[in-house]
Chain A
Amino acid sequence: EVQLVESGGGLVQPGESLRLSCAASAFAFRTYYMRWVRQAPGKGLEWVADIKGDGSEKRYVDSVKGRFTISRDNGNSSLYLQMNSLTVADTAVYYCARGGVWGFDVWGQGTMVTVSS
């Protein structure tokens, strides 16, 4: 079964860092764009970042540029999101998702990130 499983969420204080992981299984991971999408409590979905299959291209939403870094390890079918200088506005459920320009066809269950003092 094609599956994505996120981990690494938690409660941190403003200014701190967190690293999210996403383990993929049962598909050719290296051939897909992978992305992170977040959802603040009670709010809609927001694309955060994505990375090309070979890792050569990375893109970010303006609000996280310079603070977040997306990366991948194709040998271990894993996706990562390093989040630095976290703010209250980054509080959300973070989903990893598979897809291309056409959409996001496989989603993980999400991991909650809470930034609070």
Chain B
Amino acid sequence: QSALTQPASVSGSPGQSITISCTGTSSDVGRYNYVSWYQQYPGKAPKLMIWEVSNRPSGVSNRFSGSKSGNTASLTISGLQAEDEADYYCSSYTSTTTPHVFGPGTKVTVV
């Protein structure tokens, strides 16, 4: 069972904006600004999309943005495109004996 909670699926039409939530606790998301987001296509390795809540690595589209409020972090994809259809995982650093935890993943579907 994941320490972080994400919706199993989110869908949207091309051009729309969607938001994926990631809820943790005061030991992880609520305590640190070390929330990251990963995109994963089937059979491929994850790709870092957001680090430290809202920073985008070089090369990642500015259609992807991150934020955090309390124990919940969010990933927003604006101007949804067919290529955004993938699984998205959040992760947080934690103060527990398991320093990094992931959410269960959210499948994004572009309808």
Number of interface residues of A (CB under 8 A): 20
| CB <8 Å contact, A110 and B2 | no
| CB <8 Å contact, A44 and B101 | no
**Residues A47 and B46 in contact in the complex (CB < 8 Å), given A101-B34, A104-B38, A105-B57:** no
Which residue of A35, A44, A59, A95 contacts B45 across the interface (Cβ within 8 Å)?
A95
Residues of A within 8 A of B36 (CB): 102-104
Residues of B within 8 A of A103 (CB): 34, 36, 48, 51-52, 91
- Chain B residues touching A, range: 20 to 34
| CB <8 Å contact, A59 and B51 | no
Binary B-proximity of A84-115 (CB < 8 A = 1, otherwise 0): 00000000000100000111110111100000
| CB <8 Å contact, B46 and A45 | yes
Q: Which of B32, B45, B46, B101 has the most CB of A within 10 A?
A: B45
Which residue of A45, A102, A109 contacts B102 across the interface (Cβ within 8 Å)?
A45
- The prevalent SS among residues of A at the interface is strand
Report Cα–Cα, A101/B92, bound state, in Å.
8
Which residue of A44, A61, A101 contacts B32 across the interface (Cβ within 8 Å)?
A101
Residues of B within 8 A of A45 (CB): 38, 46, 89, 91, 102, 105
**Residues A50 and B99 in contact in the complex (CB < 8 Å), given A44-B105, A45-B89, A103-B52:** yes
Instruction: Give me the 9 closest cross-chain CB pairs, A-B, nearest first.
Output: A103-B36, A47-B100, A103-B51, A107-B45, A45-B102, A44-B105, A101-B93, A44-B104, A105-B48
**Sample of 16 more A-B contacts, CB < 8 Å, known A44-B105, A95-B46, A103-B36:** A37-B46, A44-B2, A44-B103, A46-B102, A47-B91, A47-B100, A61-B98, A101-B32, A101-B99, A102-B34, A102-B51, A103-B34, A103-B48, A105-B57, A107-B45, A107-B46
